[in-house]
Amino acid sequence: MPSNHNSIKTRFTYRFARSLKKLNKNRPASQSMKETYRRYHMIRVASYASMASAVGPKRAWSRAVLWKIRNRTLHRTLMKKSRIHVLRTRKVSGNPNDLRKLVPGGEGMDFCRLLNETAHYIKCLRTQVQIMKNIVDHCSN
Amino acid sequence: MAAFSSYNQHHPFLIDSVVLHPNSSIIKICEELKNANNTCFSQFSRPEFRQDIVPINLGVRQNRCLDQSTKVSLSNNESNSLMSIKNKNSMESSSVSDKYERSEQVSGQKVTSMVEKKRKPRIMKSSSNSAHSKDMREVKLKKQKNSEYKKQPREEKKLPEEDPKGYIHVRARRGQATDSHSLAERVRREKISERMKALQALVPGCDKVTGKALMLDEIINYVQSLQNQVEFLSMKLASVNPMFYDFGLDLDAFMVVRPDQSLNSLSSQVPTVQQCSPTQPPVIPERNTSLTAANCYSLLDSSSSLLFQQAHMPNTLPQGNGQLLWDVDDQRQKFINETGFSNNLCSFH
């Protein structure tokens, strides 16, 4: 379905570009390290959010992402800590629980569904990465 | 009764049961059939014949509570079966060709008969005189009609939801358990392996490893790397701010170009998208398609929507730009291929 994938991709790019524009307006890049770090966080969140909203509420992972982002003000510090913890302590083993942690919203799924969501998530992440790369290329040129 | 006598040669027990529980209507039907059955026989297949004959006996033996409609249907079935019997008697050689025809004709019925085969032992137990188990198990469909066994219709309902591949798979291991739990488990395992295969195709380097654990590991690594890439790219984007603002302007400028292209057919639009992409990153044309396709986004901020409204006006503008974009050197060609590849990759669903 070319139209479908096209629509997800285009929706993502559109949303992401818009949010970047807004972000640049509000918070222009400065030399200070702290500011850059903040910007980095916001851009990352914006990219995930725009991808999730582009996919829509049909998928479990996008719902989870949106929920997390919406509620991130409530437990922002907690999330940060746990995320770093997860990323550092992960050992390499074929444990489905690791995948559950990586795929948003994967904690509550059965394995079959998890695999399904993972496939979709991977596709979306790929698109996201590709488009972001394009933007970066364009910006650095 | 000639029809029945001929039938007796092949399946003696059936006639017995009929004799034990005589039913006048059936005999009448048989006689009618005897008169009428000189037409084409070849289309009636053997499994049909078996399947159809037996229910009559059952209906005779087990219950008189069949309503009139089922009797009619039974009589129809019987007509088929008796004709096939006659056919068998008259020309034995043609039965072989019939078999071949059957294999082509009734693939769907085959599936159901497979399911029946699987449940054979249970039915044998349940029926009192199981002299011919082969026939008895094919009674099942009709039994369901009579609602004798409440368990079987449920399973019958459940099984068609699976794909035909599942049938064959389940059927292949005949000795295995056939209760609903193990069937469901088997289906689940099949599903998982299917998804794993899909993921294997998706994740690079995953097709070399074998084993579920290793594959999972590979998938996990890939997802992580993608997420890290996103982080890295957003880090980069955070640092290269000022250029991006121009880029945003550029996007809007490109939007002006786009609506005219949307007038072309979709098939021509796709290549232009891919060829436009090298000069500006593919983001831009695609974004424009999103605009043209869906101005229904209520989320459009004011400036871009304004631009979009303006975009409809200058239709003469884009031609020059389009021609500029059309000549591509080798480097760009490479890029095109890349983007085409990515387009293939992100086919959702």
* Predicted complex ipTM: 0.84
pLDDT in tens, B290-334: 333 333 333 333 334 333 433 333 333 333 333 333 333 333 334
Residues B179 and B233 in one domain: no
Q: Does B333 touch chain A (CB under 8 A)?
A: no
Largest CA distance in chain A: 47
* pLDDT value of residue B298: 35
Q: Does A126 touch chain B (CB under 8 A)?
A: yes
Residues B56 and B137 in one domain: yes
Count of structural domains within chain B: 4
What residue has token string 């219950």? B63
Per-residue confidence at B236, pLDDT binned at 50, 70, 90?
confident
Residues B274 and B326 in one domain: yes
Pick from B66, B56, B61: nearest CA to B27? B56
Chain B closest CA to A36's CA: distance in Å?
6
Pick from B127, B118, B141, B123: nearest CA to B48? B141
Highest mean pLDDT among A67-81, A112-126, B234-248: A112-126
Cα separations in angstroms, A84 against A43, A77, A94, B42, B282 = 18, 11, 20, 74, 33
Please determine, for residue A55, whether its predicted confidence score (pLDDT) is greater than 50: yes
Q: Round the average pLDDT of chain B to a whole number and report it.
A: 50
Residues B156 and B30 in one domain: yes
Highest mean pLDDT among A1-5, A39-43, B194-198, B332-336: B194-198
Pick from B334, B34, B255, B286: nearest CA to A131? B286
pLDDT in tens, B259-286: 333 333 333 333 333 333 333 443 344 4
Q: Do B226 and A122 touch (CB under 8 A)?
A: yes
Chain A closest CA to B298's CA: distance in Å?
12
B299 exposed, middle or buried (CB, 10 Å; 0-12, 13-18, 19+)? exposed
Residues B121 and B15 in one domain: yes
Chain A closest CA to B337's CA: distance in Å?
14
Rounded mean pLDDT, B176-187: 81
Which B-chain residues 219-248 have CB contacts (< 8 A) with chain A? 219-224, 226-227, 229-231, 233-245, 247-248
Please determine, for residue A67, whether its predicted confidence score (pLDDT) is greater than 70: yes
- In B, minimum Cα distance to A121 occurs at B223
Residues B253 and B338 in one domain: yes
Q: Please name the residue ranges forming H helices in B119-211.
A: 120-126, 133-138, 140-146, 151-158, 164-172, 180-202
Domain that holds residue B174: 163-195
Residues B188 and B232 in one domain: no
* pLDDT value of residue B11: 45
Distance CA A115, CA B192 (A): 8
Please determine, for residue B159, whether its predicted confidence score (pLDDT) is greater than 80: no
Residues B214 and B117 in one domain: no
Distance CA B271, CA B94 (A): 59
Residue contacts between A and B (CB atoms, under 8 Å): 197
Residues B33 and B113 in one domain: yes
The pTM (predicted TM-score) of the whole model is: 0.46
Q: Please name the residue ranges forming H helices in chain B.
A: 2-10, 12-20, 24-36, 46-62, 68-90, 94-105, 107-118, 120-126, 133-138, 140-146, 151-158, 164-172, 180-202, 212-239, 241-261, 266-276, 283-293, 302-311, 318-326, 330-345
Residues B16 and B154 in one domain: yes
Residues B260 and B306 in one domain: yes
Residues B152 and B185 in one domain: no
Question: What secondary structure letter does DSSP report for B159?
Answer: G
Angle at A91 between CA A88 and CA A94, to 5 degrees: 140
